[in-house]
Amino acid sequence: MGITAECYRRMQWLKNLPRSQHRMFEKTTRREPHMSTTLSAGVDTGTAMFVNSDLSSVLRGRSFPVGRLPNLVQAGLPWVPINLLISPLNTIPGDNPFGPVGETRLIADLNAHVTLPSVGNRSAMLLHLSDIHDTDGSPWAVCPRAQLKRAIADLEREFGLRLLVGFEHEFYIYGSDNVPGPAFSVSSNRNGAALADAVCNALATGGITLEQFSAEYGEHQFEIASPPADTLTAADQAVLSREVIRDVTQTQGFRATFIPKPQPNQAGSGVHIHFSLWRSSKQPATAFKGKLTTEAGSFCAGILNNLASLIGFTTPSVNSFARHKPSSWVGVYSCIGERNREAAIRFCPRSSDEDGWHQNATLEFRVADATANPYLALAALIRAGLDGLRDSLEEPTNVDRDPAAMSEAERLAVGAHRLPTSISEVLEGIDRAGAAERWFGNLFWSAYRCTRLNDVADAEKAGDSYTERLSWAI
């Protein structure tokens, strides 16, 4: 039967308890194991899983019978440090900082979950996103989710600012018998309607909604857009939405891939990160009377100044750079442009209220893809923006056309520099600049750097099969 509605009701009850009562309940369930049957009442079969998005954006973790959930809420599950470094092709960096030593714990966040549906011989599975803790209970320095939490806290503590974030993901479906229709057409959207319904139903089990599920430019290519949410929630929902789409397409006999460039002759798939700045007082801080605010200008300047390093966390794979082409709407020049899809940051002011504030203004960061861990992509964006705020950088010059169509002198005048053309070049630049160690710490950078170099080694070893194998994992 799987996980029943009564079980969800009881789990929701636990989730809504104040944190202090959470701890009381968790301690009680550990002392009195029979109480676990109260939480999991109505469950005949089914599994749950504590999961964490690793350094290559693969969701990994440990599964267990769902009836054990109450006993594991506080204690968590053991997790081997090196697991976070496993590549999508299932190789491990040889020069990693952990080797066979160490242990961490997966600690579930009861507010971040979704249930993969029971279909045919695939039973339902409850996924809980988890933080990785050291054995002393402190957040582990290499945990991507912990890094994002720390960046969020620093932005609010230093400048009283928060971000609202919405993700757009593009992806391809393979294995469909439907005849592909024209780009964005009714027929193309009809081809994906049944999948969209199933995906939305699965996401609803975790309280997740989508603003759109729409056909895109490529054949059997689609895009989902998520509504704006606080930064951590947006990252959580991005991770879970990808996993639900991959799972649901499998149950329907198809396969989904989010990789940036599945085929050289196909349109690529990107991730667009829409964000807006808000003061802790809930006042908008992105745009006023058609212009960026001082804070937003400095934040964007920090992103552009660090962009050559930043893309090591937003487009971090070998496959990413097969998509990095000028005049392809990727944003491979370090500039900002109002409504300009060739700029790395697209400024969308939208309408203002009677006082001149643009409540719905957004900044769209375009140089990202799904081989990036969403937590790390956002953490790096915040860190780069913080650099700009701390240095009170001036708002960058607006670029109103394709930088590739400008002369070199014109690009230099507006600070539109061509981004590195390989992940190896990016890593060399990060080492020179020192941004990653400053943003994330030495242990994290050591682990992340060797993971990225291992992706380069995977691509070289796999040769022509690299892209295909990557497409099965991402």
- Pull the structure tokens for residue 48: 């749950």
pLDDT for 7 equals 42
Among 109, 140, 171, give the residue marking a domain's end.
140
From 165, 358, 388, 412, select the one nearest 294 (Cα to Cα).
388
Give Rg (Cα) of the chain.
Answer: 22
pLDDT for 23 equals 33
pLDDT for 409 equals 97
pLDDT for 121 equals 86
Q: C-alpha distances in angstroms, 80 versus 137, 205, 366?
A: 15, 29, 34
Same domain, 351 and 389: yes
> What CATH number did the domain enclosing 414 receive?
3.30.590.10
DSSP character at residue 173: E
Rounded Cα distance between 304 and 293, Å, is 16
List the alpha helices (DSSP H) in 133-270: 144-159, 186-191, 193-204, 231-251
Same domain, 58 and 163: no
Q: How far apart are the first and last CA of the chain?
A: 30
From 124, 142, 126, select the one nearest 134 (Cα to Cα).
142
Rounded Cα distance between 365 and 340, Å, is 11
Rounded Cα distance between 411 and 413, Å, is 5
From 414, 398, 397, select the one nearest 406 (Cα to Cα).
414
Same domain, 469 and 364: yes
Q: Which domain holds residue 244?
A: 148-473
Q: Work out the number of other CB atoms within 10 angstroms of the CB of residue 462.
A: 16
Number of folded domains in the chain?
Answer: 2
Same domain, 271 and 398: yes
Same domain, 295 and 433: yes
pLDDT for 37 equals 31
Among 84, 115, 140, give the residue marking a domain's end.
140
Same domain, 95 and 155: no
Strand, helix or coil at 86?
coil
From 260, 320, 312, 325, select the one nearest 431 (Cα to Cα).
312
pLDDT for 45 equals 58
> What CATH number did the domain enclosing 67 receive?
3.10.20.70
b/e for 127-155, b at 16 or more Cβ within 10 A? bbbbbbbeeeeebbbbbbbbbbbbbbeeb
Rounded Cα distance between 454 and 89, Å, is 10
pLDDT for 280 equals 86
pLDDT for 38 equals 31
Rounded Cα distance between 371 and 386, Å, is 24
Same domain, 312 and 397: yes
Angle between helices 294-305 and 374-390 (to 10 degrees): 120
Same domain, 104 and 160: no
Same domain, 159 and 116: no
The pLDDT profile of the chain, 474 residues, written as one tens digit per residue, is 344 443 444 344 344 444 333 332 233 233 233 333 333 333 345 899 999 999 999 999 999 999 999 999 999 999 999 999 999 999 999 999 999 999 999 999 999 999 999 988 889 999 999 999 999 999 999 999 999 999 999 999 999 999 999 999 999 999 988 888 999 999 999 999 999 999 999 999 999 999 999 999 999 999 999 999 999 999 999 999 999 999 999 999 999 999 999 999 999 999 999 999 999 888 999 999 999 999 999 999 999 999 999 999 999 999 999 999 999 999 999 999 999 999 999 999 988 888 899 999 999 999 999 999 999 999 999 999 999 999 999 999 999 999 999 999 999 999 999 999 999 999 999 999 999 999 999 999 999 999 999 999 999 999 999 999 999 999
Same domain, 430 and 299: yes
- Pull the structure tokens for residue 38: 């109260």
Rounded Cα distance between 124 and 122, Å, is 7
Among 87, 111, 140, give the residue marking a domain's end.
140
Same domain, 382 and 450: yes
Taking the model in full, what pTM does it have?
A: 0.91
Same domain, 225 and 204: yes
